[in-house]
Amino acid sequence: KNQVEQSPQSLIILEGKNCTLQCNYTVSPFSNLRWYKQDTGRGPVSLTIMTFSENTKSNGRYTATLDADTKQSSLHITASQLSDSASYICVVSSGHRNDMRFGAGTRLTVKP
């Protein structure tokens, strides 16, 4: 069973609308959680990183939240744009040298 589960698998929204993507994890111990954006045919690019003590972090129209007690994170996208169409991947790390666990991603499509 994957230690990082993301939902929904895919999502279609209209341009200008908001959306929230979810990430639940069982990785332990916990060091940090990253959200990556992966455009079609490209490699993932980091959006945000949060450590144990951080609850919220923003990067422009992207806001990530973390609840380390319930082991849940969300990525909220405000006023979506066509360029937000991509896969969003949640990655949880224990801090050890090779221990990063990747979720399968949420495929977001923003339609005009």
Partner 1 sequence: NAGVTQTPKFQVLKTGQSMTLQCAQDMNHNSMYWYRQDPGMGLRLIYYSASEGTTDKGEVPNGYNVSRLNKREFSLRLESAAPSQTSVYFCASSDRAGGSYNEQFFGPGTRLTVL
For residue 87, the minimal CB distance to partner 1 (Å) is: 10
List CB contacts of 17: < 8 A, sequence separation 6 or more: 79, 80
Token code pair at residue 1:
């069973």
Q: With CB under 8 A, what is the number of residues at the site for partner 1? A: 26
DSSP per-residue letters across 9-54:
SEEEEETT--EEEEEEE--SS--EEEEEEE-TTS--EEEEEEETT-
- Residues between 62 and 91 with contacts to partner 1, criterion CB under 8 A: 89
Residues in contact with partner 1, shown as a per-residue x/- string from 32 to 61 under the rule CB under 8 A: x-x------xxxxxx--x-x----------
Q: Which residues of the chain form contacts with partner 1 (CB under 8 A)?
A: 2, 4, 31-32, 34, 41-46, 49, 51, 89, 93, 95-105
